[in-house]
Amino acid sequence: MPVHRFRSLPRTLAVSCLAVVVLASLAGPTTAREARDAAAAAHQAAVPSPDVVTQWNTIAMRTIVTERAVPPQAAPLYLSFTSVAMYDAIVSIKGGYEPYALRKRPSGTRDASAEVAAATAAYTVLRHYFPASAATLDPDYAAALAQVRDGRAKDRGVKVGQAAARAIIKLRRGDGRDDMSIMLPTSEEPGVWRPTPPGMLPMAVAWLGFVRPMVLKSPTQLRLPGPDELDSRAYARDFREVKDLGAVDSTARTPEQTETARFWNDNAVAQYQAGMRSSAAERDLGLTRSARMFALVNTSMADALIACWRAKYDYAYWRPITAIHLADTDGNPATEADPTWTPLVPTPPGTPPYPDYPSGHACITGSVTRGLSHVFGSRHIDLDISSAVTNTSRHYDTASQLNRETENARIWLGLHFRAAMTDGNRLGQRTAAYVADHEFERKRH
């Protein structure tokens, strides 16, 4: 579990806490524990709560994923917009870090409510991109405003939040989202992706790889080594691994491996958002650090998926189910065809409708682990993850532990070759490292 380090209180806050303790003692007999509780309550009241950030992350997930059914691959882009708007609104008021889109600090930020600004920023972004969700967003926003007393701080918070939202909305105009004219051509050539059973659907969200990234210079900035050649030993090794361990009726896969595979056959974006919400609460991050964590990780995830989808489009590498069914066409004597092979992943939905290389799940995980490592350290990510598939939860102390388990899980599901997992995870990590080096930095003086 996370280790909480105690920090010294600012002098004014320490005085107020002492006053609470003294007044409590004057009121009558009290215990040392009651005195400590009173001091803690005073400290908590004086420190802005990160709840507004986690609350609006929950609302964003409901709006983007549940109500509007945005594909998991595209959801992080909208989560990034929302997280960045909240981050910009908060740091414009509280300082400490460089804003992302709101480069000019709005007037009147000194007395503005950061909580109101964050809620306004998130609401305005979500309302702009998902107007059909107004019936649920409007009451959420009204409830958020009702928690703050009317006055100048509230009014100025609204203005700052609106300015932060407008800045990111303006910045993302014409970024290439939802260009349905982009489609991946299919081919019957060995090694080339083609629609997979049972749906036999065209490549999903093909346009994502052509979207302007949030921080990367282009979707192709970070180069990949590419998938293995069909006639190589490496390909034959990966082929045998997924064929043996990823089959629905595998006798080589252990019950523990099957459980791990099923655990990660969930919406990874939703799993990581919930994990970060729990982390923000358990670590008592405070408003600014919580906002920065979500902005950094979600922006890294968005850019990692843009780069990943472009690589999927450009390499167009076939999935294990296709490769195993058609192994007699790959020119590799070390592979053997099995036209009846079926992956562990339930059918339907079966193998997702897009190419193998690199793995989108690995790109997501790599960006999350590297992003959280930047915030907390790679050996102290201390992340709790739950799965709606198995109805269980797991704890991950280190980034390497989480990376390793997820890489194996997708192979045990029968969805990916090993190279797609390792290279996808590295792409996610490299993306998050680049994002952390170029945005969401401490304030320069």
pLDDT in tens, 147-198: 999 999 999 999 999 999 999 999 999 999 999 999 999 999 999 999 999 9
For residues 74-92, give the mean pLDDT: 98
Residue 49 — pLDDT band, cuts 50, 70, 90? low
Instruction: Give me the DSSP letters along 114-165.
Output: HHHHHHHHHHHHHHHH-GGGHHHHHHHHHHHHHTS-SSHHHHHHHHHHHHHH
178: left (phi over 0), alpha (psi -120 to 50) or beta: left
Structure tokens at 245: 């361990």
- Secondary structure element (H or E) that encloses residue 392, with its range: strand 392-396
β-strand 383-387 against 392-396: which pairing, if any? antiparallel
- What's the alpha-carbon Rg for the chain, to the nearest Å? 24
Write out the two tokens for 209. 């790889």
Q: What is the pLDDT of residue 368?
A: 98
Q: Is 339 left (phi over 0), alpha (psi -120 to 50) or beta?
A: alpha
The residue behind tokens 């400290």 is 43
Query: 334-350: per-residue pLDDT in tens?
Result: 999 999 999 999 878 89
Return d(Cα 162, Cα 92) in angstroms, integer: 12
Nearest to 358 by CA among 312, 402, 320: 312
Could you tell me what percent of the chain has a pLDDT over 90? 85
Task: Tell me the mean pLDDT in the region 293-320.
Answer: 98
In this predicted structure, what is the pLDDT of residue 1? 36
Question: Hey, how many other C-beta atoms are within 10 angstroms of the C-beta on 7?
Answer: 6
Phi, psi at residue 360, to the nearest 5°? -65, -40
State residue 192 phi and psi, 5-degree precision: -100, 140
Q: Using the predicted structure, report yes or no on whether residue 254 has a pLDDT greater than 60.
A: yes
Over residues 237-252, the pLDDT tens digits come to: 999 999 999 999 999 9
HSE-up (13 A, CA, CB side) for residue 282:
13
Q: How confident is the model at residue 5 (pLDDT cuts 50, 70, 90)?
A: very low
> Is cis: bond before 358, omega within 30 of 0?
yes
Helices (H), 246-359: 255-263, 268-282, 287-315, 320-325
Give me the count of residues in the chain: 445
- Inform me whether the pLDDT recorded for 10 exceeds 50: no
In the prediction, which pLDDT does 445 show?
A: 59
By C-alpha distance, which of 218, 215, 237 is closest to 228?
Answer: 237
Give the number of other Cβ atoms within 10 Å of residue 265's Cβ. Answer: 22
Sort 421 into a burial class: Cβ within 10 Å, 0-12 / 13-18 / 19+.
buried
All residues at 6 or more sequence positions from 109 whose CB lies less than 8 Å from its CB, including other chains: 92, 93, 156, 160
> Considering only CA atoms, which of 131, 142, 125, 114 is closest in space to residue 83?
125
Average pLDDT estimate for 400-427:
98
Residue 399: pLDDT band with limits 50, 70, 90: very high
SS3 213: coil
Within 10 angstroms of residue 405's Cβ, the number of other Cβ atoms is 16
Q: Which DSSP symbol is given to 210? A: G
pLDDT of residue 12: 33
Position 8 scores a pLDDT of 31
Per residue in 319-332, pLDDT tens? 999 999 999 999 99
Helix axes 233-245, 418-438, angle to 10 degrees: 100
Residue 409 pLDDT more than 70? Answer: yes
Identify the pLDDT of residue 23: 32
Which residues touch 373 (CB under 8 Å, ≥6 apart)?
381, 399
Q: Is the pTM of this model over 0.75?
A: yes
Q: Is the predicted pLDDT of residue 135 greater than 80, yes or no?
A: yes
| CATH number corresponding to 206-438 | 1.10.606.20
